[in-house]
A and B are shown apart, each in its own frame.
Chain A
Amino acid sequence: SQTIHQWPATLVQPVGSPLSLECTVEGTSNPNLYWYRQAAGRGLQLLFYSVGIGQISSEVPQNLSASRPQDRQFILSSKKLLLSDSGFYLCAFAGTGVTEAFFGQGTRLTVV
């Protein structure tokens, strides 16, 4: 069966510190991978998506970046966190084509 793992579940980081969130998928090959952010009281915002290794598309300009070093691994990074980066970060995967997406457990990031 297909599963998605995302860690850590919670994270408290000081302003200006780096960030690395990791997501891995099992049970499927060549998935489409996504990073979303959900700020308090707001909807899900697509940050990045990837249709293959090394292929990253950004939806929103910001101080975050994403990488896909392996087929089923997706990493969200920042060199210097801002207070406005706080939120609930969700990794998701979907099969190739027009299919539903499945989410990881999410990472609640608080920048202090």
Chain B
Amino acid sequence: QKEVEQNSGPLSVPEGAIASLNCTYSDRGSQSFFWYRQYSGKSPELIMSIYSNGDKEDGRFTAQLNKASQYVSLLIRDSQPSDSATYLCAVIRRGGADGLTFGKGTHLIIQP
């Protein structure tokens, strides 16, 4: 079963606050994890990748992975109106040739 689950939202966060996005996955064979941002009508854009347990920081973004709990999260610090988008969680199973399995995404709204 290749299932990735996200709360569809919308998640409304005030400008300047921390936005927290969550994702769970069912396939314990998954070994690579990604967060994509998708603006309305546009294609997904990769913003973070994480491969091992713990935190990974890149600018205002922090990805967190807990393989034991099969849980991935994305934190966005100092949220800006331009962060308003749908955030897609994606995983690749061991081997990876059959591509990414995506969640349905969380719609994030940053309120000015």
Whether the Cβ atoms of A46 and B94 lie closer than 8 Å is no
> Contact at B98–A43, with CB atoms within 8 Å?
no
Number of interface residues of B (CB under 8 A): 25
Size range of the chain A interface in the assembly? 20 to 34
CA gap between A42 and B103 in the complex, in Å: 9
Which residues of A pack against B, CB within 8 Å? 32, 34, 36, 42-44, 46, 49, 51, 57, 59, 90, 92, 94, 97-106, 108
Residues on B facing A (Cβ under 8 Å):
31-32, 34, 41-46, 49, 88, 90, 92, 94-105
Known: A44-B102, A46-B101, A106-B43. A100 touches B34 (CB 8 A): yes
Contact of B43 among A43, A46, A51, A105 (CB under 8 A): A105
